[in-house]
């Protein structure tokens, strides 16, 4: 059971409405929810059952591995008949959801999902698992391609966090905000303080639920320390790596490198590059870290032009990152301005964490770097909107040069750029003037951190 269920507060997540869309669509396929441990996968399925007014028959293969015996026949009708008999619970496909939790513990059950799609499509079937990426990467069983769907789940989003903190009115305002509207300074500052709080508490469901009910930074930090320790205790389950001390060192060092180009020697100078690379791959499969690769960005898709030797990193959650770095509420909440922290690494983590929330696609992020002795440049993130590749720059304070963004737009013949900082929203119609290049017009949409989840809407509004 996810840690969130131990708390009295129920946290509403916007992802449940996406699952409701899956539940009600024609041609629905069995769904596999993928994500790191303790991000709330099980709770989300239970919320879906409640919202749709369906019963939920839940099987946990990690806790009860013997339940895999029901699926050996590979006949959905027999499986449902035996489950109904065993649990003394009628299973009406129109009024029930079958939930197979921790399915990575019994991966052979995944093969059976195709038969539910082919022979019993009327029954909504959801599977979920932690460390599932390791299982899906193994050749020991056949994944039913074309007969299942994936749903990628990470930590709670910023706006859902605000709602849990009792700030639903603030979220409603953000969701209806238009760029040209003036924002009163007290409201702007209130929103920035909410961002600081999110940075400190983070988005892990159990931590959010604890702080929302108890308002105790100490208790929240205790839970985060427990989560960090739990992720390290999972290392033995990875199965692919024997160098546990190295894996632990990489995990503990990684938070110090957010926002920087990472070299294997930065993570462990004593180990071979191949060993460090293997450790990073394991942590990536576990989804406790993400690697952000450089893309040449000469066209789409961005992943087709990546350099696997040039990458930065993101941690699973910004609250866990702060705890790993030893940042306390006194240091974070009472900082005099927004230009203080780790060369902007927390700001980059915050925006990156938001951009990684892509339930229907595998979470991926890219950036762009130009290494030149005379004029090097680096754009924090690249965002794709239709056929546009839009550079995103992040500034921890209210100001900051945009030379790297200008180089990108000039070299890639781009028109639009986005900047996140602590200032008021604005739209700049500017001219790029770089040595050895012709002048080029461009538009820069500048947004405060707290509007990150409204970026796609506001960008589209700008295009309109």
Which CA distances in Å does 181 have to 14, 125, 185, 195, 461?
26, 45, 13, 21, 13
Higher pLDDT, 197 or 338: 197
Higher pLDDT, 283 or 344: 283
CB 153 within 8 A of CB 42: no
pLDDT of residue 395: 86
pTM as predicted: 0.93
pLDDT at 372 over 90: no
Q: What is d(CA 397, CA 339) in angstroms, rounded to the nearest whole number?
A: 4
Task: Give the range among 131-145, 366-380, 416-430 with minimum mean pLDDT.
Answer: 131-145
Mean pLDDT of 334-344: 56
pLDDT of residue 205: 97
pLDDT at 314 over 90: yes
pLDDT of residue 215: 94
pLDDT of residue 160: 98
User: Domain ranges in the chain?
Assistant: 3-152, 159-463
Mean pLDDT of the chain: 91
pLDDT band for 334, please (50, 70, 90 cuts).
low
pLDDT at 332 over 80: no
pLDDT band for 240, please (50, 70, 90 cuts).
low
pLDDT at 40 over 90: yes
Among the CATH numbers 3.40.630.30, 3.30.2310.20, 2.30.30.30, 3.40.50.300, which is that of 3-152? Answer: 3.40.50.300
pLDDT band for 464, please (50, 70, 90 cuts).
low
């Amino acid at each position: 059971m996810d840690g969130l269920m131990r708390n009295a507060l129920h946290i509403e997540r916007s992802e449940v409405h996406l699952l409701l869309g899956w539940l009600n669509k024609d041609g629905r396929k069995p769904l596999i929810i993928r994500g790191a441990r303790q991000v709330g996968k099980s709770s989300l399925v239970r919320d879906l059952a409640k919202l749709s007014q369906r019963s939920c028959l839940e099987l946990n293969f990690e806790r009860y591995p013997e339940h895999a015996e029901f699926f050996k026949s590979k006949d959905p009708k027999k499986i449902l008949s035996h489950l109904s008999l065993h649990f003394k619970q009628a299973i009406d496909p129109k009024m029930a959801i079958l939930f197979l939790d921790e399915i990575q513990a019994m991966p052979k059950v995944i093969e059976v999902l195709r038969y539910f799609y082919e022979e019993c499509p009327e029954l909504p079937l959801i599977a979920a698992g932690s460390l599932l990426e390791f299982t899906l990467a193994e050749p020991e069983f056949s994944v039913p391609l074309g007969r299942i769907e994936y749903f990628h789940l990470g930590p709670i989003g910023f706006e859902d966090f605000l709602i849990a903190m009792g700030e639903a009115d603030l979220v409603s305002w953000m969701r209806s905000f238009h760029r040209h509207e003036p924002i009163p300074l007290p409201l702007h500052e209130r929103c920035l303080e909410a961002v600081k709080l999110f940075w400190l508490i983070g988005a892990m469901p159990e931590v959010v639920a604890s702080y929302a009910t108890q308002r105790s930074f100490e208790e929240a930090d205790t839970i985060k320390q427990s989560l960090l320790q739990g992720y390290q205790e999972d290392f033995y389950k990875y199965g692919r790596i024997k160098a546990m001390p190295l894996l632990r060192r990489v995990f503990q060092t990684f938070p110090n490198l957010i926002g920087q180009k990472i070299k294997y020697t930065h993570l462990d100078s004593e180990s071979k590059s191949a060993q460090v690379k293997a450790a990073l791959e394991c942590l990536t499969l576990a989804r406790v870290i993400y690697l952000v690769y450089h893309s040449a960005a000469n066209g789409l898709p961005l992943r087709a032009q990546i350099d696997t030797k040039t990458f930065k990193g993101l941690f699973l959650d910004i609250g866990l990152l702060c705890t790993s770095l030893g940042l306390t509420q006194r240091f974070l909440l009472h900082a005099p301005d927004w230009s203080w922290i780790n060369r902007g690494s927390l700001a980059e983590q915050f925006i990156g964490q938001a951009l990684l929330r892509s339930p229907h696609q595998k979470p991926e992020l890219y950036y762009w770097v130009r290494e030149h002795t005379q004029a090097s440049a680096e754009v924090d993130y690249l965002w794709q909107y239709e056929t546009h590749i839009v550079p995103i720059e992040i500034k921890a304070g209210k100001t900051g040069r945009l030379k790297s963004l200008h180089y990108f737009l000039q070299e890639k013949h781009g028109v639009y750029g986005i900047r996140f900082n602590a200032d008021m929203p604005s739209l700049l119609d500017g001219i790029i003037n770089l040595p050895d290049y012709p002048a080029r017009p461009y538009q820069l949409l500048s947004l405060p951190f707290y509007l990150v989840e409204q970026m796609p809407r506001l960008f589209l509004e700008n295009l309109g």
